[in-house]
Amino acid sequence: MTVTILILQFFLVLAAAPATVGIVRKIKARFQNRRGARITLPYWSLLSLLRKEMTITRHSSWVFRIVPFVVFGSALALAALIPSFAVGILAASMSNIFLVGAVAALGSAFLVFGGMDTGSTFGNMGSSREMTIASLIEPAVYVSLASLATLSGSWSLDGIALFFAASKWVEIILPASLTLVALVFVLLAENARYPVDNPATHLELTMVHEAMVLEYSGPYLAMLEYASWIKLTAMLMLVMNLVAPWGILTSPFALGATLIALVAFAIKLGVGAFVIAFIESTIVKMRFYRMQEYMSLALIVALGGLAISLVSIAV
């Protein structure tokens, strides 16, 4: 049974990922008084990219060609490991926070290699910026995960989500509040969103994520784009499941509960997408040299969250 649920969760994230991006774009357009493209547009974008020819520069090596597979593989692993739809399933024991962190980092690192491999200026510029951002946000990532582990007494994301789902919301939300805020900071920075990166930029000089994938085309580009959408969806659902741990599927897995969990998944995804769109519509992208202030703030909030967690388990 758990295998079925795991497969269901895996494909649910994969199926929902383009919609997440579509919803964010749609809501952003509405915020600007524009009608916006259909939510289903990203699905069609993927299909049209898959049908397109690939142009690969002869200045690239084998690294360039394996990058899409590693990045996409890392995203698939995240879709399976991160508790977005159900907790207590087969992958539970594998969702150790360091393992998940490492899997995510593997994808990021290879994306950076892909950006550098062709030797083009923009790819290297994007890679250099990505590494700067990644190394600055890293402390906040692990401190906030550690504080969640402290709070729940589990080193796996599955255990953490299970603990949140099983606890009374009013009792858990206060000690976890700062950590959750820090996780939102991390979510935005890790997924190339405002105020760190502009996912819609057409300006080659300001790009981070887009600069690294600039040389990719056709199916490879589809894989990289899809991977980034999956990562965003999985991480967004993780945060949503901690902030609002209702309706997540727990054992025993009954049909009624599964249907409720599906509805909860959709609602949480919609709310999460709205929050991202709201943030991106109301703030300005930060000047690159002020990024360390954002990252420091994320770390300080995460440390505060850790302190609260330690105090709350002590009393």
Partner 1 sequence: MTIQSLTQRIGIAGKDFVLVPRDDLHRHAEVCVEAGAPLMFMYATEEANGFVVHVVFSAEDGFLTLKAELPRDDPTYPSLTRSIMAAHWYERLMHDQFGIVAEGHPDWRRLIHHENIPEGTHPLRKDFAWNTKLPHANVPYPMHAVTGKGIYEVPVGPIHAGIIEPGHFRFNVRGERILTLEGKLFFKHKGVEKLVEGKTPEEAFPFIERISGDMVAGHALAFAEAVEAASGVAISARAKHLRVLWSELERATAHVFDMGNMGGNGTGFTFMAAQGFRMVEDMRRLYQSLVGHRFLRGAIVLGGAHDISEGDVEKIRAVIDDIERDMKKVLAIAYGSDGLMERFETTGILSLEAAKAYGARGTPARASGVTLDIRTGHPYAAYKELGVSVVTEKGGDVAARFKVRDRELTESFRLIREVLRTLPKGEAKTNSNFKQGSALGAVESWRGAIIDWVRLDAEGRIDRCAISDPSFCNWSLFGELAPGNIVPDFPLCNKSLNLSYSGTDL
> Which residue ranges make up the site for partner 1 (CB under 8 A)?
28, 31-34, 121, 125, 128-129, 194-195, 198, 200-206, 280-281, 283-290
Residues 204, 206, 210, 214: is their CA dihedral positive or negative? Answer: positive
Q: Which is nearer to partner 1, 31 or 142 (CB)?
A: 31
Q: Which is nearer to partner 1, 126 or 159 (CB)?
A: 126
Q: Which is nearer to partner 1, 205 or 315 (CB)?
A: 205
Give dist(CA 214, CA 248) in Å, integer.
38
**111-126 burial string, b = 16+ CB within 10 Å, else e?**
bbbbbbbbebebbbbb
Minimum CB–partner distance for residue 214 and partner 1 (Å): 9
How distant, in Å, are the alpha carbons of 46, 71, 111 from that of 221?
A: 9, 11, 11
Neighbours of 94 (CB within 10 A): 15
Minimum CB–partner distance for residue 112 and partner 1 (Å): 16
Q: Which is nearer to partner 1, 22 or 175 (CB)?
A: 22
Count Cα atoms within 13 angstroms, Cβ side, for 84: 32
Minimum CB–partner distance for residue 195 and partner 1 (Å): 7
228, amino acid identity: S
Minimum CB–partner distance for residue 45 and partner 1 (Å): 17
SS3 26: helix
Minimum CB–partner distance for residue 144 and partner 1 (Å): 24
DSSP class of residue 289 equals: G
3-state helix, strand, coil in the chain (%, to 5): 75, 0, 25
Q: Which is nearer to partner 1, 205 or 255 (CB)?
A: 205
Minimum CB–partner distance for residue 303 and partner 1 (Å): 24
Q: Which is nearer to partner 1, 65 or 285 (CB)?
A: 285
